[in-house]
Structure 1
Amino acid sequence: MTRTIYVATDGSDRDGNGTVKEPFGSLDRAVQEIRNLTAAGLLKPVTVYIRGGCYERSEPLSLDERDSGTPECPVTYRAYPGEEVVITGGKAVTGWERMEDGIWRASYDLGYVPSTLYADGRRVLQARLPSVGYYETDTPITPLHDHRLGITFKEGEAPEIPAGDCRLSVFVWPGEGEWNWFSETKTAVHYDAANRYLSFGSPASWPIGEGSRFYIQGSLAFLRAPGQFCIDESQGYVYYWPADSGADPNEQTIIAPAIKRILQIQGSSPELPVSGITFSDLTFSSTDFFPEYRMMENNVDRDEHREGLIYMRNAANIRIERCRLLQSGSCGIYLDRDAAGIRMDGNIIASFGHIGISLSGYAPGEGAFSGPAAADRNGHHAITNNYIEHGGELVGHGCGILLYQSGHNLIAHNRISHMPRYGISMKGLRYGELPAEIYGLTVTWENHWDFLHTRDNLIAGNDISSVMEDSQDGGMIEAWGVGRGNIITNNDLHDSGIHFSFGFGIYLDDAADDFTVCNNVIRGLYSTGKGKLWMLIFSKGIGNRIFNNLLVDNPMAISGIGSQEMAGEQNKDIEIASNIVYNSGNLYYFVNYTDERFASADRNLYWRNGEPCRIAGELPLAPKGPDELGRNVYEWSQWRTLREGSYDAASLCCDPLFVDRAAGDYRLQAESPAYSLGWQDIALGEFGPRQSYPV
């Protein structure tokens, strides 16, 4: 038998008893009832049925170890069958009156000023200039203007900014114009119109050189395009221009978010975790962003930015299943430091400001641990069958799933799309950046992997498309400075573009060692404008194994597989075998080369509309001409003379014979020459979620 508790919007915390006929009126009252039960010792499973309706939160619903279930008596919070439950972190704005030029306004006296707004489930951005796209910074006119303390408009682009505008902020990509790796949102405090210089209240994390992209936001004077809003605190109004010019805001649901997390699952300490709780079939929506956002430091989120619709710390064996996590100011789900065995299955995570699911363990050296093994506290999670889309809407380096110092995870059969940078990112800290001593131990080359906990992860069966939409130097699946034993297999990476600068398909960046990359399909990647699709698989690091991947119909790619040693991190002992590279650039690209780079390379099949197979970059050979990146092109016959003729001795340059390439059927015909090279068929129809949920 299961103990059942009921909550309804028309229930009563005072007069209700939690039954279906007399439900409680709030989730907090249900939590208190369960806490009473657990204090006495749970004797049976408990299910809280939440009746349909909208439950507004002005503060997070907080659970701790007193609310835990047990393996025999779990606790479940779920929507009543057939009813939709929405738990929201904001309040509705009503009473709109029409102004001019498509703009509406409503009285605003909620007692707080949000940094974002939502209308019928879509994010409404702050009024901004330019209305779309970016300005690019100019070099400061006067040396007194610090490159970290503000931005300079180019001549002819400086707008009129009302004096005393107190809500002005700048979204900017700090760097030298090329480093569009991380974005920041900075509060503006003063405008020097004569010198076109807008200064910040605090310095940016990096200098902002000429050509850095930015826009300014927050002034009513900037409300010049649909889909934007502005709050004028002095007048007590919110102004809104609907994305649909014919829409009436009085017939929309306009939510002003008030909090940054809705559900907080946090035990008192790592020794007292929350556990044994499931959340099913619920909608969590509408949280706020930060007035000012600073980029990560050494890939570590700052404490003030560790937020999500669902936040967990000191938690274990929690399940989030078939839920809808929508319209987050920051992340969908944030697992902070101590978290183990969390299962996230079959959820829809959409329209989030930063990251869909963030697994963020302890940074190397963080915490008072006895050694690296004791600091490995975030992992053994399962992220499966989720739809993760439209992320990074407020943070330019946002991605679908981030693994930072988190290992032994299963990331499988998710569909990820529409991200500004990565689809899936794995982060740690490369050897050259590690402290000399951690937890009282000297860090050496031999032991440095012990401190890197993003290891032994299985990334499998995912469908990833439309990423790298607003950033550069990234990939659809990416890794930097991580631990060993990670596997990337059977993923479909497709239909994604590089729109400026450069990017990759699978990107094993600095110090990404001991990866297995196999049975992946990379197809339909492209470039636009000044963008360059470089390598479809770019392998830095040591001892990576790249085999049985299908790289097909990426005609704008520079090459199928590339490598580079940089930043003092070794790049060697790569093993390459049985890949098909079809209409996808040169076979290999070497930004630089040593005889240790490839441990082996053979039994690959290459075809490029009948053109000869070529290698590009820098090789100890006589070049046949320049390549499009300013290096060289070499003939395949030259390449095969290196290392005593051991490279690609059995590889073929011929048509792989797809069943119906024009129709996107990349199965191989029975007589395909790829089979003689050891090709193993990839299950092409088994990518993405294995269950269907309404999006």
Structure 2
Amino acid sequence: MCLNLLWACTRPEPGIRFYIAQEGSDLNPGTKRKPLASLTGVRDAIRKYKAENSVTDTIWVLVEGGRYFMQEPLMLTEKDGGTKTYPVVYKAQDSDEIPQFIAGKKITGFQVDAQGIWRVKVPETLYYGWQFDQLYVNGQRASIARTPNTGFYKIDSIHQTIWERGTGRVAERARQLVGLSEEEFSLFKKVKKEEEDRVRFRAYHKWDFTIRYLDKVEQDSLWMYTSGKGMKPWNPLQKGHRIAFENFEAALDTAGEWYLSKTGELSYYPRRGETPENSEVIAPALPHFMLIKGQLEKGQKVQNIRFEGLSFQYSHYKIPPSGFEPNQAATSVNAAIELEGAENITFQNCEISHTGQHGIHFGQGTQYCKIEQCHLNDLGGGGVYIGTNTIVAEELTTQHIEVHNSIVQTGGLEFSPAVGIWIGHAANNRVTHNDIGDFRYSGVSVGWRWGYDHSPAKNNKVLYNHIHHIGWGLTSDMGAVYTLGSSEGTEVSHNIIHDVYSYSYGGWGLYTDEGSSHVKMENNLVYNTKSGGFHQHYGKENSIRNNIFAFADFNQLQATRVEKHRSFDFTHNIIVYDSGTLLAGAWEKIDAQVDNNCYWAYKQDTVWFQNKDLENWRQTGKDLSSIVADPGFENAASRDFRFASEQMIRQIGFKPFDLEKVGVLGDNNWKMKARLPEEKRKAFQELSKKKKNPGH
């Protein structure tokens, strides 16, 4: 009886089993003794099994720990799913040994030249034209050869000639002439003639940037010629905008840079301590780890698949000949894992890292999917993208996607306008208990409609997230949480938001942009922002309630457009600061209920409401029951926003919220993994001390 009990306690979960191992072969049947070698191999074996048998149990794919260099992306269709009762599960065989699926190729055989540069011939480039735009050394992203190495040049002049107007606001085809100062233009004397058509520039403007190849360079006139789409009239390149150049050999002049020639010579300038013998160099090769796509035109979806404990690393994004046209949130960029026409797909305890593009995209026709306790990091683009950037038929709208208890960090490394978690035309999605940080544009973006026309983005919830270290002084007009369009039922609550720093204007904590309507923002702690804790550009009937806004550099609160409807209610909030002004914009004229708030300036004798003290400010009809008083934090200067006393906040009806419940959940190891490294936090702090003028 004891033996039977022991067996019952240790027997494996019931189901049909297929095995993948490093020593396996895709000619094997997939048993434990004769395992398969790849995800594609096991997919085909499951298809064969299902064709010959009726499936009345869960199908388990058990993957041995180790590294698997992928030859092709895993492509799953409606043939490859399970049922709700009997799903298909791809899972690490041993929870202590994480299987790593590598979408790249090792580069070996480097020789060190007299200058210390590593060089090797890549035969696939020479014979097959293989070019890659990312490279990793010892798991660290290297930088393609660039000048200047830090900072930027400035555009001295720009002129556009339209070749084909088209019908839209942006010309279909145009040529731009970009000029630099004579001193900066001298860099092109170092560019070899055969390299000119491979040189790219990255030009940064407001919330976006442009990547373009050069058509030609005129040394006499100091002009660079480039062509493609016309410049967007609302966000064009202009004199004074920042620009950098990359992808030519003479720019290979600092540690951590690399360059690949047309003839296949890969050159790398090593970092301190790196040698060819102690280093692993990986060039990403595949554009995707996985594509999960049903046939929506036939009403067929990929359903009921789960991935557990797997790691996906080193996907490639090839910059096309057209470069990258300015595109807010980089929505035109693909993802390393893409789903379309999928339902009940779960990623649990998985990793997506070292990507050239976004991590994962839940596209049209995808519903009831989940990411839970996953780690997305070192991302060329954004982390999780949900929905579409164009409105699709209602039945194809992305819905009921959950991103929970995950770490989404360090992104926008190739495409700075990318977002940590982006929700476009999508409804009923939940973003809860995540750590979202170290992005160059916005942390979370919800909605994708400028103005008040119909938007499918309804009932999206952004709750209990830690969102931090956003912007890095690279983009402008951005926020930790950014919303657009009519968004009934959308809620942004119980989040801790801090360290938001834009290049010029617009580093806000909570940012309700064009047409944001019916959004509820409550019980958030927002501090250490550049341009303000809250800004509404324009919108309708939003509720900003029971939040703490603290220590913005320039303006604590901002409201821009005056409209003939109630723009927002701003009530029961606490606002404290030690620099800058309290209010910026049209607060006196805007239709907003502003009341029962607590204001306090630690380094000023009086709180000024746009040149009025509280008594005179009340004559505008706002803040009739608000107070100017120290709210009684434990130690606001050290960013401890617990209350030593609740005496003052009771006067405004403020209800304290539990900050300990925010962020990732689980054991201490998981929580520590979410902590941004000390050197990054210090670097961000030093950057924000510069306090550039936030002029428009």
- Which TM-score band (shorter chain)? 0.7 to 0.9
Decide whether the 8 Å contact of 1:173 with 1:181 is kept in 2.
no
In 2, distance between residues paired with 1:283 and 1:423? 23
In 1, distance between residues paired with 2:590 and 2:135? 54
Letter in 1 for 2:598: L
TM-aligned CA distance change 1:329 to 1:205, over 3 Å: farther
1:558 to 2:552 alignment: no
TM-aligned CA distance change 1:353 to 1:171, over 3 Å: farther
Instruction: Tell me what 2:36 maps to.
Output: 24
1:608 to 2:604 alignment: no
In 1, distance between residues paired with 2:107 and 2:335? 23
TM-aligned CA distance change 1:187 to 1:482, over 3 Å: farther
In 2, distance between residues paired with 1:591 and 1:676? 27
* Deviation, structure 1 residue 361: 2.2
TM-score relative to the length of structure 2 = 0.86
* Deviation, structure 1 residue 483: 2.7
Segments of 5+ residues of structure 1 without an aligned counterpart are 432-444, 527-532, 617-632
Instruction: Tell me what 1:439 maps to.
Output: none
* Secondary structure of the structure 2 residue equivalent to 1:49: strand
Instruction: Tell me what 1:493 maps to.
Output: 497
Letter in 1 for 2:46: I
1:405 to 2:425 alignment: yes
Instruction: Tell me what 1:468 maps to.
Output: 471
Instruction: Tell me what 2:649 maps to.
Output: 674
1:5 to 2:18 alignment: yes
More displaced stretch, 387-396 vs 499-508: 499-508
More displaced stretch, 420-429 vs 536-545: 536-545
TM-aligned CA distance change 1:543 to 1:588, over 3 Å: farther
In 2, distance between residues paired with 1:413 and 1:278? 21
Instruction: Tell me what 1:625 maps to.
Output: none
Corresponding pairs, count: 631
Letter in 2 for 1:104: W
1:457 to 2:460 alignment: yes
TM-aligned CA distance change 1:87 to 1:299, over 3 Å: closer
Matches within 5 A, 1:45-124: 45-81=58-94, 82-110=96-124, 111=128, 112-124=130-142
In 2, distance between residues paired with 1:171 and 1:238? 21
Instruction: Tell me what 2:266 maps to.
Output: 238
Counterpart of 1:43 (choices 34, 52, 56) is: 56
In 2, distance between residues paired with 1:99 and 1:571? 69
Counterpart of 2:617 (choices 633, 636, 639) is: 639
Instruction: Tell me what 2:343 maps to.
Output: 316
Letter in 2 for 1:108: V
Instruction: Tell me what 1:483 maps to.
Output: 487
In 2, distance between residues paired with 1:296 and 1:38? 46
Matches within 5 A, 1:303-342: 305=333, 307-342=334-369
Which is helix-richer, 1 or 2? 2
Instruction: Tell me what 1:657 maps to.
Output: 632
1:581 to 2:575 alignment: yes
* Secondary structure of the structure 1 residue equivalent to 2:540: coil
* Deviation, structure 1 residue 426: 1.8
TM-aligned CA distance change 1:461 to 1:70, over 3 Å: same
Letter in 2 for 1:640: R
Matches within 5 A, 1:330-409: 330-361=357-388, 363-364=390-391, 369=393, 373-374=394-395, 377-409=397-429
* Deviation, structure 1 residue 562: 2.1
* Deviation, structure 1 residue 662: 4.6
Letter in 2 for 1:677: I
Deviation digits for residues 444-466 of structure 1 (CA, Å, limit 9, x no counterpart): x6xx33xx112211101111111
* Deviation, structure 1 residue 524: 2.5
* Deviation, structure 1 residue 114: 0.3
Decide whether the 8 Å contact of 1:90 with 1:258 is kept in 2.
yes
In 2, distance between residues paired with 1:171 and 1:347? 34
1:597 to 2:588 alignment: no
Decide whether the 8 Å contact of 1:147 with 1:208 is kept in 2.
no
Decide whether the 8 Å contact of 2:207 with 2:328 is kept in 1.
no
Deviation digits for residues 489-527 of structure 1 (CA, Å, limit 9, x no counterpart): 01101133234343211110111111111100012334x
In 2, distance between residues paired with 1:295 and 1:339? 27
What value does the CA root-mean-square deviation take over the aligned residues? 2.4
More displaced stretch, 191-200 vs 394-403: 191-200
TM-aligned CA distance change 1:101 to 1:299, over 3 Å: closer
Segments of 5+ residues of structure 2 without an aligned counterpart are 1-13, 164-172, 674-696
Decide whether the 8 Å contact of 1:541 with 1:571 is kept in 2.
no
Instruction: Tell me what 1:213 maps to.
Output: 242
* Secondary structure of the structure 2 residue equivalent to 1:515: strand
Identity of aligned residues (%): 22
More displaced stretch, 30-39 vs 678-687: 30-39
TM-score relative to the length of structure 1 = 0.86
Decide whether the 8 Å contact of 1:336 with 1:360 is kept in 2.
yes
TM-aligned CA distance change 1:357 to 1:167, over 3 Å: farther
Counterpart of 1:301 (choices 311, 318, 331) is: 331
Instruction: Tell me what 1:441 maps to.
Output: none
Deviation digits for residues 222-246 of structure 1 (CA, Å, limit 9, x no counterpart): 1011111101122x3100112x222
Instruction: Tell me what 1:196 maps to.
Output: 222
Decide whether the 8 Å contact of 1:138 with 1:154 is kept in 2.
yes
Decide whether the 8 Å contact of 2:302 with 2:341 is kept in 1.
yes
Decide whether the 8 Å contact of 2:197 with 2:216 is kept in 1.
no
Counterpart of 1:505 (choices 509, 513, 520) is: 509
* Deviation, structure 1 residue 535: 4.9
* Secondary structure of the structure 2 residue equivalent to 1:165: helix
* Deviation, structure 1 residue 345: 0.9
Deviation digits for residues 366-422 of structure 1 (CA, Å, limit 9, x no counterpart): 5xx4xxx345x1121100111111100111201211111112111011111111110
* Deviation, structure 1 residue 664: 3.5
In 1, distance between residues paired with 2:499 and 2:441? 14
